Structure 1
Amino acid sequence: MASPSSVEATKQLWDDTLTRLLNLSTATVTRNTELEARLNEVELELSVWKQAHSAALDVAERDKKIYALQVATLNSQIASLQALSTQSPLILCIIDGDRNVFVESLLIQGLQGGRQAAQQLTKGVAEYIQDQDLPIGSGVVFSVVIFFNKKRLLDTLVSHFICTADQLDAFLLGFSQASPRFWIVDVGSGKEAVDGKIKDYLQTYGRFPQTLRIIFGGGNENSYMPTLTAMENEQLLGKVVILQSYDDLASEIRSLNLPSLRIDGLFMDNDPFYGTKRSGPNPLDGLWSITTNGGLMSPRSPPVSSLSQGEGKFIDPTKPLHKQSPPPCNEHYLMSCSKGGSCKYSHDYILTPEQLVALSKNAKKAPCNYLKNGLICPHGDGCCWGHKCPNGPSCFHLSKGKCWFKGDAMHSPVD
């Protein structure tokens, strides 16, 4: 039988063991509670991060689409710029018509004077470009735009007995008829109207990669200096050539050391707006006639039969051009007609720029006789006749052997 002391010791041992077990159980429960709380916190954080990650993916996907669109746009713009750079070089003549006034001997000739002025301007620019040995090839485009205040110019010319209103109107018509790319723009009244148009043209066309030269007739004025300075900062000033009508350039423009071109007998040497009135009008001088080449004036075109002022006649608006009696001569208006007075077509019509464009489009529908007969066309791109069938390789008449365009390669794809 165990002694009382032994029983007491055993009881104490069990009490201690139970106490330790209770303490361990309490600690375990407390720890589990803490871990569950921490797990809940971690799961909440994970949920937040998942949402943030999902949102970031959505943003990244949107950005990816935006960037892809921007890249496509940039590629398109680059392709457009490359296409522009391969286009025909442009020589643009911009003239301030308020400060550069054509000479009286041309103004008083009316229609023929306008044509002669266009011929002289084209010839002068062509000779300058040739002297500079610029790489223009055969596809150069020459365009002229004149900005002016017609009312102010007319009032001045009439009050100084330089020309009549009818003569000025006919002159302007003759000049604009010289080529579909010759424009005369009346900007109306306003001191800055002409300046604003010209400044915008200088900067806009100066940035075009195909613009080879800008022949700039700004008169003896410093008002265009800010624009020219801006072009200099953009390294575009090398495209500008000053069309000089006065003996001396404005001091600030002269400081730019730009190349200059002067065409004798084209513009007045001084500004008629500040001149003095004369006693009366001068008699008419001899008249000129000119021809054109491919829609642009040819500087080497020989003169053909002259028309006295007032002999020109207008198109019957109720009939198309080819049904006029007689129809206008395509070669006379678009190139040069070698038949002269023996030509069965008319050289006497006064054609508007729109009618010249229509005439050119109609002429392209008929084949060039040189190519049709297997020869090289001496006029090249300046030929007014068609070098390719407008219907291209899918021409219905070609399949029947009845197409007028019979030369080699005349049914290649139309550009």
Structure 2
Amino acid sequence: MPTPTNSDTQPTMKDIQKLSRMVKYLQEQVKLLKESHRPCRVITLIDGDGYVFQYERIVLGRYGGRQAAEDLAEGIRGFLNIGPHRSHIAWVFLNQCGMMRTLHKAGQNMAAENLGDFMLGFNEGAPGFIMADTGGVKEAADAKIKVLLEKEISCPQTEFLVFAGCHDAGYVHDLRRSIFEGFREKIILLQAHENQVQAIADLDLQTIHIGGLFLPHKIRTVEPPSSPAPSVFSTTSSLPDVDDPSDFPEGFSSGSVPQRSHAVGDYSAAARRGSLCSVTSEMSGDNSSAYSYRSNRGIPTRTPLEKDVLSSLCKVHYLSRIGCLLHNCPKVHDYPLNDEADLRDLREFALEAPCWDVNNERGYSRGSTCIYGHKCPRFANCSLARAGKCPFKGKKMHAPYY
């Protein structure tokens, strides 16, 4: 076997060029790999059950949702001093049905009815923005946010993570773990409420506040009593003294007026109406009788239903011919309306909400059976319409004067 010479072991020029090309290729691959792992995106996580957008925004439906998404993105970009081309992904998780129920209890029925459209508008406001319904499972939104927090905070591509859950001490453990793993500089707290949970405030993280976007406090609800208040006619002591002749107008005698025992039976229907009005009086903080007396003759004058009661009632159930078809309707279906005047109050209240078909210029598909408003109640005097914020958006919904 021949022994190799030095000329055989020396690399040729061709071998050197081949190795150079390979080194250059590997250097380019390393550069691409570093570039792909460079922090380049912003993640925003919002607990929508605690961070509630302003009522005025929700009432505007899709338009309000788009504006909310744009204002959220602009506020975060301004704080981080980054351009609009930086990748920004935002998740908002909430229980939609539960939020609608809470808004109705707070008397914000317009916001409750437009919540679905608001969510659609938010999703349309930016490509990476998602507002999702987590259903009625308890703390479902919290669980999803915690999973995404753990995943996104450790991702090399995540430059900043904006966390909106300062109202809930249940997130403290997850935030502490992220800080312990070395991601303190990535985390930015988005504050909505006036006061943070003290345990989260003690973490001493960067904090951003975007004014006019979220409610600065928890939703204040007014819970109706579980059972009707006692009727104002339930005892004889609540009735006027019809036996005293001095209480009668001139020309009347005690014989021309029914006795007390007959009066109790005659007012049985009114007693039920009094029970309904007692609830509204109790909700408004008024401990006086729900019925006032026009004179000493015992003729009651009706007190209109309070707005809090009207907001909690299902208008479709009470007013439409087919009734409510929702399986889990968040509104009240079993409230006692025993007076045509109560129904009239509810009809007038329903007209304050725009008809979806007319508002979207789809004609009068429900005809005369529609219970919602086809005209803005303020007509030409609507300042919201001039500002472009009136929920009545149809072309002729402010006609003939506007």
- TM-score, with normalisation over the residues of structure 1? 0.46
- TM-score, with normalisation over the residues of structure 2? 0.47
Higher relative contact order (CA closer than 8 Å, sequence separation 6+): 1
